[in-house]
Copies of this chain bind each other. A is one copy, B any other.
Amino acid sequence: TMQHIFKEIFKAGIELIEDDHRKALLVSRKKKPENTVVQIDGEAIGREKKTIIAGPCAVESFEQVEAVAIALKSQGLSIMRGGAFKPRTSPYDFQGLGFEGLKILRAVADKHDMKVVTEIVNPAHVEEALNYIDVIQIGARNMQNFELLKEVGSQKKPVLLKRGLSATIQEFIYAAEYIMSQGNGNIILCERGIRTYEKATRNTLDITAVPILKKETHLPVLVDVTHSTGRKDLLLPAAKAALAIEADGIMVEVHPDPAVALSDAMQQLNIPEFEHFMNSLKSSRLLAAD
C-alpha cells in the first residue's frame, strides 16, 4: 500500500493542476469575485432588479409579434424573445421564418423601443444577424456546438446561453468559457430543465442549478419556466421558486393566440394569462428590488 500512497500523491498532483485549470476559467468567480452585469442597450441583467424576458416561441408575422410587444410594454418589460431559426426535432415541422423573422423582430422592437433576443443556429449567420438583434441566444441543442460558441464569442453582443438537454453544470460552465475565451464576457446563463425519467413535466427544472451557477461563476442566471416545465399551470409556481432562489430573471413564452401557434401551442401563455402571470409575480414581492 506504500505504492498506493505514491499513486495517490501522483493523483493529487494531477488534481492540483486540474484545480488550477478550473480556477483559471474566465467565467469563474474565483477569477472575478463580483457579479457580471450584462448591459443590453440600457437594460441591465444581473442587478438587484429582476428581468422578465417574454415573447412568442416562433415569429410568425409582424402583427403577432407586435401584439406581444404591446402586452410586454404595458407590463413594463423591454426585452422580447422570439424564434426565427427554429431547431425542430422533425425536418417537416415549421423551421421558422429565418432572416425574414429577424427583420420583423427588429421592426417591432424599433417601433416600440424594445430589445430583441433570438436564437441563431449557424455560425455563418451570426454576422448578418447582428444587424437585427440585441442578444444572441444559443439554444439547448447547440450548447456544445463549439463552432457556434466560438463564433458568438468573437463578437461583442450579449449571448444568452441555454443549458443543454442533459448537460452537466460543469459542461454548461465550460460552454460559457468557450464564449468568454474568445473575448466576449457578456454572457447570460439560462437553466431550462434537464432530461430525466419523470414525464409529468417536459423536463425537470433543476432549481438548485441556479445557486450553484451563481456560486461557481460571476454571470447572471435566468430560468426558462416554459421549456423546463412544458405546462402552463406550472409557469407561475416555477417562476416564484426561481426568483426566491435568486435567479436574475425569468424567460416565458407568450403568444396572442397559442391555439394556432406554429410551435409549442400547448405551453405558451395568451395575453390575458400573461397579464395574470405578471400581476401575480409583482404581488408576490419576489420580483422587484424596490
Binding site for B on A (CB under 8 A): 1, 4-5, 8-9, 11-13, 15-16, 19, 21, 87-92, 121-124, 141-142, 144-147, 150, 164-166, 168-171, 174, 177-178, 181, 194-201, 204-212, 215, 228-229, 233-234, 237-238, 240-246, 284-286
Q: Please, which residues of chain B bring their CB within 8 A of the CB of A194?
A: 196-198, 204
Given known A-B contacts A144-B141, A199-B199, A240-B245, A206 and B204 have beta carbons under 8 A apart: yes
The answer on a CB contact under 8 Å between A146 and B87 is: yes
Among B9, B146, B150, B206, which residue has its beta carbon within 8 angstroms of that of A12? B9
Q: Please, which residues of chain B bring their CB within 8 A of the CB of A238?
A: 207-208, 245
Q: Please, which residues of chain B bring their CB within 8 A of the CB of A122?
A: 123, 147
Q: Please, which residues of chain B bring their CB within 8 A of the CB of A228?
A: 208
A200 to B211, CA, bound (A): 11
Using CB atoms, name the residue of chain B closest to A181. B91
Given known A-B contacts A141-B145, A145-B145, A208 and B237 have beta carbons under 8 A apart: yes
What's the least CB distance linking A59 to chain B, in Å?
A: 18
Sample of 10 more A-B contacts, CB < 8 Å, known A91-B178, A237-B245: A1-B16, A4-B16, A8-B15, A87-B146, A89-B174, A123-B123, A166-B197, A195-B197, A205-B206, A244-B286
Copy total for this chain: 4
What's the least CB distance linking A47 to chain B, in Å?
A: 19
Provide 20 A-B residue pairs closer than 8 Å at the C-beta atoms, listed in order of the A residue. A5-B9, A8-B11, A87-B144, A91-B178, A145-B145, A168-B199, A168-B200, A169-B200, A194-B197, A194-B198, A196-B206, A197-B197, A198-B209, A200-B209, A201-B212, A205-B207, A208-B228, A211-B233, A215-B233, A244-B286
The answer on a CB contact under 8 Å between A197 and B200 is: no
A138 to B164, CA, bound (A): 18
Q: Please, which residues of chain B bring their CB within 8 A of the CB of A124?
A: 123-124
Given known A-B contacts A8-B11, A237-B210, A195 and B177 have beta carbons under 8 A apart: no
A124 to B151, CA, bound (A): 12
The answer on a CB contact under 8 Å between B1 and A5 is: no
Which 7 residue pairs across A and B have the least CB separation, nearest first?
A8-B12, A244-B244, A166-B166, A241-B241, A141-B144, A211-B237, A241-B245
The answer on a CB contact under 8 Å between B145 and A168 is: no
What's the least CB distance linking A54 to chain B, in Å?
A: 19
The answer on a CB contact under 8 Å between A171 and B89 is: yes
